[in-house]
């Protein structure tokens, strides 16, 4: 693939998240892919698991919007950062816990890295800024609180 092909793949992935289209996103994955996210105990290896993961975010943040803010792209991989915004009006499953809706609006970031093989994503790794998100939701205090 060319760098431009990989850029388009990344743009399609971000657009799939922003438009709440799990089918579009999972269609980008190669057979035998691995999807890792820092709050998940095990990698996801089926499109149904990735679809469920995405839908859990859309349930928690029905107005979720995602935009790429920075990327480094080669002919077989992307390292990037996204910013996401939304209002927490549904339950959020994170780290094996379910967090009831808080009604709070958030603006946070996530870093991600994916590798491409034969035009499809073969591995994907995401690192949402969970601490920032939990502080914005009021689940945990800021690190300087109480000092």
36 occurs within a structural domain: yes
Q: Which tokens is 145 given?
A: 């609180």
For residue range 91-134, what is the model confidence (pLDDT) as tens digits?
A: 998 767 789 999 999 999 999 999 999 999 999 999 999 899 99
147 occurs within a structural domain: no
Q: Which tokens is 74 given?
A: 């080669």
141 occurs within a structural domain: no
For the chain, first and last CA: distance in Å? 52
Q: Is 81 helix (H, G, I), strand (E, B) or coil?
A: strand
Please give the tally of structural domains in the chain: 1
145 occurs within a structural domain: no
Q: Which CATH number goes with the domain that contains 93?
A: 3.10.450.50
130 occurs within a structural domain: yes
143 occurs within a structural domain: no
Sign of CA dihedral 98, 22, 42, 124: negative
The residue range of the domain holding 85 is 3-136
Nearest residue to 60 via CA among 3, 130, 5, 127: 130
Q: Is 84 helix (H, G, I), strand (E, B) or coil?
A: strand
Angle formed at CA 12 by CA 8 and CA 17, multiple of 5 degrees: 150
Q: Is the pLDDT of residue 15 over 70?
A: yes
For residue range 22-73, what is the model confidence (pLDDT) as tens digits?
A: 999 999 999 999 999 988 889 999 999 999 999 999 999 999 999 999 999 9
121 occurs within a structural domain: yes
């Amino acid at each position: 693939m060319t760098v431009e092909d990989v850029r388009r793949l990344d743009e399609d992935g971000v657009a799939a998240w922003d438009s709440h289209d799990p089918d579009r996103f999972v269609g980008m994955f190669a057979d035998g892919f691995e999807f890792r996210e820092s709050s998940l105990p095990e990698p996801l290896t089926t499109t149904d698991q990735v679809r469920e993961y995405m839908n859990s975010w859309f349930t928690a943040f029905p107005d979720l919007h995602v935009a790429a803010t920075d990327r480094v792209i080669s002919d077989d991989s992307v390292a990037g950062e996204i910013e996401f915004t939304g209002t927490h009006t549904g339950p959020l499953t994170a780290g094996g816990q379910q967090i009831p809706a808080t009604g709070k609006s958030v603006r946070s970031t996530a870093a991600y890295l994916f590798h491409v093989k034969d035009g499809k994503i073969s591995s994907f790794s995401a690192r949402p800024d969970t601490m920032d998100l939990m502080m914005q939701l009021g689940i945990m205090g800021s690190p300087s609180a109480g000092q």
